[in-house]
Structure 1
């Protein structure tokens, strides 16, 4: 709105207002005085334009977006510490600390540890890594880090917060409708997305399928956390769900996918190119995981989309015979399935 209120524009408006008999050259005192004032005015208009944009969620960011979203009851999701399984040859007390890959993990219960640092970094050390105790623990001989149970997450991004804010405004979750069950499930720490299946086993029944924050199948513990939050005592209204509603929570399932194609290379090795293509496919699959679609529609792994990835790779000069799970056809995913890249088989 105020883009045209630049320093130059303000000077062009101000100088003609000064009587002609006065010196208005750039070296004059009058010019300098007017210029200082207009510089401040130009900066003020820049801030006015910014303030105007901050009033709208889609143009806002940071703490101002937080304030806008809070008006609709939407809070930015905080960073989350990763919780992982761990195995010890003895019973280890809660609070004991272990070290691996420049990270500290604290025992929160026997068989479970929590990273002391928030964010996805706690998900990174490989399974079966050796945990080194910070203090001496008598009779401890083995301490092994296991799989991720609750993935660590970074603080929610502006883009994600805006998306949730707009959903709240446009598709109101209320009175235990489908949107409400989805909202409840996604409020649980560690849940990435959820799908809701009403009346799946008769009147009063609701099924919720979830994935974790990495868009992977949820652990049994995460499934139980969602169940306990929404409907801890079936049908009794002890959680978020109303009386009479019986909830079933399940994890999504991996759909293993193998991509095969004949390629001509202009350099590099087939192994290295396959690895590059695999990374691009994983990004594409992540976008397809639990895509928000009506239950009557299904996410699809398209041959054309796979071909585009091959075409865009700088090492591939030509390709043909693109197959998805052995077929030259698109692969439809069931509503409970997540695309999981099992292998990339490129050959010359």
Structure 2
């Protein structure tokens, strides 16, 4: 058998050779014998050449599967997960959102468990317990999303519909946000956690250890640790650690997630330090722009969605603590708006009524608010 010799292709090393290349090597020392496509030698050797070519191609694929970065880039996600598992990093799976709704109705009216409630967009939840309306005409019950994922998160008042009417029940609403529904951890986020663990020296309870412990908790999207942070303790901050987190949707973390991170760190940390876990604070960015667009092809709602999508993606990519954006550039936002599908020109941009760059504090999280535009 002709040995497989690794060769350089462009800037990468590759095992692959075509069947024709293998055949040329096999017949390179044969003289005075017909080796053309219709010869007996061709018919005898070419099947082996095809198999050798296929196996050399598979060898190239093996090199892509061995390393975490190349496994991610080439879609070998099972191999990426296995590589991460070797380092004790398990992909975080989607969670089911839960919350509480307020029920209004006639005194002593009953809303049973398992009742369907929903938002105006048709996102559905099930009540988790029977409720009897009290003497004030209200009652409360927990709800659980019909499925897993972040699409079941809801703002205050979104859960307002009762598709099936129940006697004596007037209405339902959620008085607090539902924000504990998370999607499966993306493979990019999993890879970043892998890099964080292998490239930062997490030893003996140093700051990287606290960051890694926080990132292990389902629902945490990014984290940073600040040692010696509480200078008011009279010891120049010794023995204190602050951990700042966002949730997996790169929004402010809720109380339940903060407690889950705190409890996990308390189980893992060395004896001694006083740990404080807080959420990054959301800095809402309201954008106003003057644009030109083809109104015959695009309507204003479609255009607003296109702009919101591209700006939101930019902000999400820039919130990873501690490498997050230090400021929001007016010029960058303008360029993003100009690149949105349907926008022909963008002549001015303001953020929160300001035309200068917006600084982002270490504990702040830039979040897109309202997008408004004037048409020129």
What is residue 127 of structure 1 aligned with on the other side?
Answer: 158
Which deviations, in whole Å up to 9, do the C-alpha atoms of 1:296-321 show, x marking residues without a partner?
x9621101111102322454443333
Contact kept? 1:217, 1:254, Cα under 8 Å? yes
1:234 — aligned with what?
none
1:54 shift after superposition: 2.1
Q: Which residue of 2 aligns with 1:236?
A: none
Distance 1:246 1:79 in 2: 31
Asked if the contact 1:85–1:149 (Cα under 8 Å) also holds between the matched residues in 2, the reply is: no
Matched position secondary structure for 1:150: coil
CA distance in 2, matches of 1:205, 1:184: 16
Q: 1:301 aligns with which of 328, 334, 342?
A: 328
* CA 1:224–1:305: 2 relative to 1, 3 Å: same
Greater mean deviation of Cα atoms: 76-85 or 264-273: 264-273
Using the alignment, how far apart are the partners of 1:182 and 1:266 within structure 2?
A: 48
The 5 A counterparts of 1:208-223 are: 208-223=243-258
CA RMSD of aligned residues (A): 3.3
Q: 2:42 aligns with which of 26, 31, 35?
A: 31
Tell me, in whole angstroms, the C-alpha distance in 2 between the residues paired with 1:104 and 1:346.
Answer: 35
| Equivalent residues of 2:153, 2:179 under 8 A apart | no
Moved more, 25-34 or 206-215: 25-34
Contact 2:318 2:325 in 1 (8 A): no
Among residues 70, 75, 78, which one is paired with 2:85 in the alignment?
70
Q: Is the 8 A contact 1:149 1:221 kept in 2?
A: no
SS at 1:84's partner residue? strand
* Distance change in 2, residues 1:28/1:174 (3 Å): same
2:354 is the counterpart of 1:327: yes
Instruction: Kindly state the Cα deviation for residue 122 of structure 1 after the two structures are TM-superposed.
Output: 3.5
Q: Equivalent residue of 2:270, what SS? A: coil
- Alpha-carbon distance change, 162 to 245 in structure 1, aligned in 2, over 3 angstroms: same
SS at match of 1:256: strand
SS in structure 1 of the partner of residue 268 of structure 2:
coil
- Conserved 8 A contact 1:106-1:115: no
Does the CA-based 8 Å contact 1:108-1:114 persist in structure 2? no
Find the counterpart in structure 2 of residue 114 from structure 1.
144
Task: Determine which of 300, 304, 316 is the counterpart of 1:286.
Answer: 316
User: Which range moves more in the overlay, 99-108 or 145-154?
Assistant: 99-108
Q: 1:205–1:299: structure 2 CA closer, same or farther, 3 Å change rule?
A: same
Structure-1 separation of matches of 2:114 and 2:333: 47
- Per the TM alignment, residue 35 of structure 1 is displaced from its structure 2 partner at its CA by 0.8
Shift of 1:340: 2.4
SS in 2 for 1:77: coil
The question of 1:193 aligning with 2:222 is answered yes
Q: 2:263 aligns with which of 228, 233, 242?
A: 228
**CA distance change for structure 1 residues 318 and 159 in 2, over 3 Å: closer, same or farther?**
closer
Residue from 81, 96, 110 that aligns with 2:96: 81
Give the equivalent residue in structure 2 for 1:165: 194
Q: 1:140 to 1:8 in 2, by over 3 A?
A: farther
Local SS of the residue matching 1:335: coil
Gap change, CA 1:42 and 1:192, over 3 Å in 2? same
Structure 2 length-normalised TM:
0.76
- Aligned in 2, Cα 1:59/1:149: closer, same or farther, shift over 3 Å? same
Distance 2:358 2:313 in 1: 17
In the aligned structure 2, how far is the partner of 1:286 from the partner of 1:47? 37
Query: Which sits farther off after the overlay, 163-172 or 58-67?
Result: 58-67
- Whether the 8 Å contact between 1:196 and 1:209 is mirrored in structure 2 is yes
Deviation per CA, 1:150-203: give whole Å up to 9, x if none: 12212x333222222222111022211111111111222211112222222232
The answer to whether the Cα contact below 8 Å between 1:98 and 1:105 also exists between their aligned partners in 2 is yes
Structure 1 residues 169-180: aligned runs within 5 Å: 169-180=198-209
Q: How many residues are matched? A: 333
Q: Relative to 1, partners in 2 of residues 1:141 and 1:63: Cα closer, same or farther, differing over 3 Å?
A: same
Moved more, 124-133 or 143-152: 124-133
| TM-score for the superposition, normalised by structure 1 | 0.81
Distance 1:328 1:286, change over 3 A: same
Out of 302, 306, 310, which is 1:276 matched to?
Answer: 306
